[in-house]
Amino acid sequence: MMKKGKYLAVALAGMLAIGGLTACGSKGSAGSTGPKESIADRYTPKKDTPAWKLDKKKKVTNLTWYLNADWWVNTDAFGKDMITKKLEKDLNVKIKFVTGDNTKLNTYFASGDMPDIITIDDMTSSTAKKAASWAWSLNDLSKKYDPYFLAHAAKKMTLDWYKLKDGKSYGYPNFSNTQDDFDKGYVNPTTAFVVRNDVYKAIGEPSMKTPEEFLAALKKIHEKFPDLLGFGFNSVIEGASAISYSLQDYLGVPVKTKSGAYYDRNLDPDYLKWVQTINTAYRRGYLSDDTFSDDTNGFTDKLKAGKYATIFMDGTTSQASALQSFIDANKGKKYVAIDGPQSTMGRTITLRNSGVSGWMNSYITKKAKDPAKVMQLFTYLTSKQGMIQMQFGIKNKTYTVNSDGKLAIKPEVTALQNSNPTKYTNTYNLGSFYLFANDRTLANGAANSNAKSVQQFIDWGKGKVKSNYLVENVAPDQGTQEAKNYSNINTTWNTSIVSMIRAKNDKAYDAAMAAYKKAKKQYDYAAIQKIMNQKMKQNIKKLGLKE
């Protein structure tokens, strides 16, 4: 099962930048208390019973669900496999999925011919901010049609985070991790410094925590295993994010200054010490130029073949299959997580994962044919039962419960997934419908055959994953000059960090750094930081955080 970051062998769709949205000629208006449709002849809502179990409506409700994600797959499989077929039977619905991009989404708003549900991927977009004009408040719908949603299914912290100016919440995200999720250890790490166990043993299992130890270990690897790539990392296409933002987390670089202002972590001296160290490793031949030119497939192929001796790996769970392929083909060999590069200033590792914002946000539009039924669907999918069903299936049919209470996918289900993916999709399709998935649900699962390859990584990272609500969504609003400037600065950094690591001499390294500093000045970083500071204060107020 994939996850964001996690779930991201899939490329994210472009961020929305839709302006000028108006109410879509639908029933109700912004600030109203919800739709007028009555359910008096169908059921009486109860706080402690989900409404789908009470509804006496006999006619099947046909729903249209639009995903603003043209990369989404398996839309035709919904309602055919065992899992989603049960959902449709339980709720007495049929769901038609439609996918597209921003152009198609704009067409919906322009025509007023809206689907029942819309899913987008950015709470900071104009579309999300104007949701009150085209979507029903989940607070109002729950109170009127399904109070179980607010009482037992939805997370209060998530709803509070998504409140608009009217104090109501309209969209609900997947992978929204609350502080309770972090405190209980439900949120797994997706970053690790890993090494091939046979290589590590052969060089004496040295510490690689300090720059000096790191370079010394790579030297031994270079001498004993000349055919291997001493050090590698992924996500270069996305601006070297593994060696940039994720490494900053790994080193415990703070997100704010001592005075509480937004901190430019790219210029942190502790972090730059390690960038210089990696550059030294490159100059000594411990890194390959392939690291900077390989696409995802190239990296995966090398991973399967065990070509890397050490890797600073981002999105570890999405690499599980490739890692397992290496294990299967090389008896006794595997990659293991160790305490790699550490802060030179004594900071603690602060690994990140999805925060309260989550990823993709789903809304019930004001054109929904049966808002009560759609509210029931949201409750079903956000409830523990629904989430487990979408991810693990049906007890004793697709999974069993171990003695430790963990849900284990049945061997025959996993075997079918590996041997005949098409038949598996048509039969089970576990985990592919993750629009309401979250980490606390996935934490119920025992490691399946592929996940076993990263279980040690996860165990190593326990206790090292921290929430980062303070700086969530603090970037300037889309469409503003500051947002354009911020994008230009980030683009320059993406180029600079790669150039710094690949610099063949100090002059080239300094020039790459100078280009980034020049961009900050040219694009008025001070004005951007001011906006970020304001948004950080808003986050503190919204969630009652400590400054």
* Domain stop point among 322, 350, 378: 350
Q: Are both 339 and 257 inside the same structural domain?
A: yes
Tokens 């109002």 sit on residue: 140
Residue 26 within a domain: no
Q: What is the pLDDT of residues 41-63, one digit of tens each?
A: 999 999 999 999 999 999 999 99
- Range of 403's domain? 42-176+357-449
Supply the pTM of this predicted model.
0.85
- Helix boundaries (H) for 345-399: 371-382, 384-392
* Domain stop point among 319, 350, 381: 350
Amino acid (one-letter) located at 324: Q
Q: Are both 167 and 79 inside the same structural domain?
A: yes
Q: Are both 241 and 290 inside the same structural domain?
A: yes
For residue 201, give both structure tokens.
């043993």
357: left (phi over 0), alpha (psi -120 to 50) or beta: alpha
The pairing of beta strand 172-173 with beta strand 361-364: antiparallel
Residue 6 within a domain: no
Q: How many domains does the chain have?
A: 3
Q: Are both 218 and 318 inside the same structural domain?
A: yes
Residue 14 within a domain: no
Query: Please, what is the average pLDDT of the chain?
Result: 90
Q: Are both 133 and 240 inside the same structural domain?
A: no
Residue 28 within a domain: no
Q: Are both 429 and 488 inside the same structural domain?
A: no
Q: Are both 212 and 334 inside the same structural domain?
A: yes
**CA 142, CA 147: separation in Å to the nearest integer?**
5
SS3 14: coil
Q: Are both 103 and 150 inside the same structural domain?
A: yes
- In our burial notation (b when 16+ CB lie closer than 10 A, e otherwise), range 102-116 reads beebbebbeeeebbb
Q: Are both 385 and 524 inside the same structural domain?
A: no
**CA 542, CA 116: separation in Å to the nearest integer?**
29
* Domain stop point among 324, 350, 376: 350
Tokens 């049960």 sit on residue: 86
Residue 5 within a domain: no
Measured in residues, the chain has a length of 547
Residue 325 within a domain: yes
Residue 422 within a domain: yes
Ordered per-residue pLDDT tens for the chain, 547 residues: 334 444 433 333 333 333 334 334 444 444 456 899 999 999 999 999 999 999 999 999 999 999 999 988 767 778 889 999 999 999 999 999 999 999 999 999 999 999 999 999 888 888 999 999 999 999 999 999 999 999 999 999 999 999 999 999 999 999 999 999 999 989 999 999 999 999 999 999 999 999 999 999 999 999 999 999 999 998 655 444 788 889 999 999 999 999 999 999 999 999 999 999 999 999 999 999 888 888 888 999 999 999 999 999 998 988 988 999 999 999 999 999 999 999 999 999 999 888 999 999 999 999 999 999 999 999 999 999 999 999 999 999 999 999 888 999 999 998 898 788 889 988 998 888 889 999 888 888 876 655 789 999 999 999 999 999 999 999 999 889 999 999 999 999 999 999 999 999 999 999 999 999 999 999 999 999 999 999 999 999 888 877 6
**CA 320, CA 187: separation in Å to the nearest integer?**
17
Q: Are both 233 and 332 inside the same structural domain?
A: yes
- Helix boundaries (H) for 57-137: 82-91, 102-111, 126-129
Helix (H) or strand (E) holding 38: none
Q: In what order do the strands lie in the sheet with 361-364?
A: 93-99, 61-67, 117-120, 361-364, 172-173
Q: Are both 339 and 239 inside the same structural domain?
A: yes
Q: Are both 432 and 505 inside the same structural domain?
A: no
Give the DSSP per-residue string, 490-527.
HHHHHHHHHHHHT-SSHHHHHHHHHHHHHHHHHTTHHH
Give the DSSP per-residue string, 315-349.
SGGGGHHHHHHHHHHSTT--EEE---S--TT-PPP
- The enclosing domain of 275 has a CATH number of 3.40.190.10
Phi then psi for residue 287, to 5 deg, are -115, 145
Residue 459 within a domain: no
